[in-house]
Amino acid sequence: MPTTEAGPTAEAGPIAQAGPVTGAGQPASGNLLTDNPELYEARFPDVQGLAARWTEAMLRAHGAGPRVLDLGCGTGRDAARLHAAGRKVVGADLSAAMLAYARREHPGPDYVTADLRGFDLGRDAFDAITCLDSALLYCHTGEELDGLLTSCRRALAPGGLLVAEMRNGAFFLGNTELLDAPTHGAVSWQGTTYQFVTTLWVDRAAQLLRRRRVWTAEGLSHAAPPLEQHSAWRLLFPQELRHLLAAHGFTVRALHDGPGPRTEPVWHEDSPPPGDLADGDRLHLVAQLTAS
C-alpha cells in the first residue's frame, strides 16, 4: 500500500485533503483509505482478529519458525497480533501514512518501507512471509510477480513458508455476481459519513480486476466534491499460481477457497479441514521454499 502523524482533522475531512483528481482518476496526493488509516480500519473492522488468528493457525500447522515478515502490512493490525502471539515480526509497506499509524497504534513489530514487487530485507532473514487481503495481487504483471517471488525466496530461510490470502481469479470464470451492478456503502468516522459507490469489471487483456470507487461526504462544514479513485488486482488462477511458485522453488502445501478469514462461513479454530476446491471468491495459500 502506499503523512501526517495525526491524520486530517474531522473539520477538514479526508476528501477535502485528498487533493484534486488527476487525469488518471487518482487524487494527486494518494488514496483516501490508505492515506487515512483510521478511516481504513473503520471501513474494514476486524475486532475479532480473524485474519491474524487464521494466519497464526496456518503458521503453527505448517511448523513455521518465529521470524515473520508481514508483507503489505497496512495499518499493522495483523502484524501486531502476530507479535502478541509470540512471533518476531517485521511489517513492510509502501505507505508512509500506514507505517506511521502502525508504529503509533500497533506497536511491537518493526516497521519498514518496502515494495512487495521487489525488496531486499536480508538473506534467510525470515521463517515465514505473510501476504494478506490480496496484497500479493498488487503485482499486476508477470515481471512484478517474478520480482515478488524472487525477493521472497531470498528473504526466506530454507523450508520457510509463504502464507497468502487473496481474491480468486477462477471465481470470475462464469460468476458475475460481483460485477453485475455497482455496490453502495457508507462508513462513519469522526462525525462524518463517507458514502461510496463501487464498480468492478474484468480487464481480460491485462488479467486484472479493476475497481472504480466514488466517494462523497456528508456532515462537513463545506461542500466537498466527489472523489473518484481507481485500483486493480491481478486475477491469478490456481494452476497459474502453482506454476509460478514452482518456478521460484516453492512447493504448494495448501491451496483452497476456504474457510478463511473473509469467507462465508468464516474460518474459526474449530473449522473442518479445508479441501482442495477453488470455487469461492477467495484463495488461501501455504507454500514452502523447498529448493536451495
Domain with residue 151: its CATH number is 3.40.50.150
Cα distance between residue 46 and residue 101, in whole Å: 16
- Angstrom distances, CA of residue 272 to CA of 75, 265, 268: 30, 11, 9
Cα distance between residue 13 and residue 11, in whole Å: 6
Residue 3 domain flag: no
pLDDT reading at 267 higher than 80:
yes
pTM of the model: 0.90
93-97: long-range contacts, CB 8 A cutoff, minimum separation 24: 93/1, 94/1, 94/2, 95/1, 95/2, 95/30, 95/34, 95/35, 96/2, 96/3, 97/3, 97/4, 97/7, 97/30, 97/34, 97/35, 97/36, 97/37
Convert the pLDDT of each residue in 202-231 to its tens digit: 999 999 999 999 999 875 556 678 999 999
231-258 mean pLDDT = 98
Sign of CA dihedral 32, 36, 39, 41: positive
Domain count of the fold of the chain: 1
Return the number of other C-beta atoms located less than 10 Å from residue 111's C-beta.
Answer: 24
On whether the CB atoms of residues 202 and 209 are closer than 8 A, the answer is: yes
Residue type, 88: K
Residue 240 domain flag: yes
pLDDT reading at 4 higher than 60:
no
Average pLDDT, the chain: 90
Residue 211 domain flag: no
pLDDT reading at 28 higher than 60:
no
Q: What is the DSSP letter of 117?
A: T
Q: Which pLDDT band, with edges at 50, 70 and 90, does 191 fall under?
A: confident
- For the chain, strand residue ranges (E) read 67-71, 88-93, 110-113, 126-131, 156-167, 183-189, 192-203, 208-218, 227-234, 250-256, 282-289
Domain of residue 124: give its range. Answer: 50-171+235-289
Residue type, 68: V
Sign of CA dihedral 252, 254, 256, 260: negative
Cα distance between residue 54 and residue 268, in whole Å: 7
Give the per-residue pLDDT at 24.
32
Give the per-residue pLDDT at 222.
62
Give the per-residue pLDDT at 8.
32
CA dihedral 112, 116, 122, 124 (to 10 degrees): 120
On whether the CB atoms of residues 135 and 116 are closer than 8 A, the answer is: yes
Convert the pLDDT of each residue in 115-173 to its tens digit: 999 999 999 999 999 999 999 999 999 999 999 999 999 999 999 999 999 999 999 99
Residue 239 domain flag: yes
184-201 mean pLDDT = 93
Residue 229 domain flag: no
The half-sphere exposure of 4 on its side-chain side, counting CA atoms within 13 A, is 12
239-259 mean pLDDT = 98
pLDDT reading at 197 higher than 60:
yes
Residue 64 domain flag: yes
- For 17-118, strand residue ranges (E) read 67-71, 88-93, 110-113
Residue 278 domain flag: yes
